[in-house]
Amino acid sequence: MKTDWNLIREMMNTAIDSCEQIDAAGFDESLRSAVININGVEYTVMEFLISAWTMPENIRYKIIRDRHDTQTDSPYVPEAARILQAMAQACSELIGAGSLPSSQQAIAGMNHWFKSYAVPHIVAAVAQSRESKH
């Protein structure tokens, strides 16, 4: 099965852009109870935030059900999914962390490793393996 990387990229960019805008607005814990009136109904910032993390959780379960219905269940966690999960968790630790020079150096090294070492070598090994089978 193919993976719709553009959809994944759009979803991740939406989350990143949203978090960046919330952070830039100056949100902190003391503002969870801040209220906005929308068409005569008052909503708190916390209600929006809860929806912002439960909506993707619910979408995840919908995707799982859809995969089951189309008989494309995943019997294991694909390696690419594990990479995305681990990277998202690492990124989440950076929220509110400011500048961490030693972490930034490690992140730069990791990014370089992905782009210049791991991925090119994985792609080459896969291509070489496919060629030797033909």
How do residues 41-75 score in pLDDT, each as one tens digit?
Answer: 999 999 999 999 999 999 999 999 999 999 999 88
Sorting pLDDT into bands at 50, 70 and 90, what band is 129? very high
Q: What is the per-residue pLDDT for 82?
A: 95
Q: What is the per-residue pLDDT for 133?
A: 86
Degrees, nearest 5: CA angle 95-89-100: 45
Say if residue 11's pLDDT is above 80.
Answer: yes
Contact 19, 96 (CB under 8 A): no
Q: What is the per-residue pLDDT for 131?
A: 92
Q: What is the per-residue pLDDT for 20?
A: 95
- The tokens describing 58, both together, are 């619910």
Mean pLDDT of the chain: 94
Cβ burial, residue 45 (10 Å; 0-12/13-18/19+): middle
Say if residue 1's pLDDT is above 80.
Answer: no
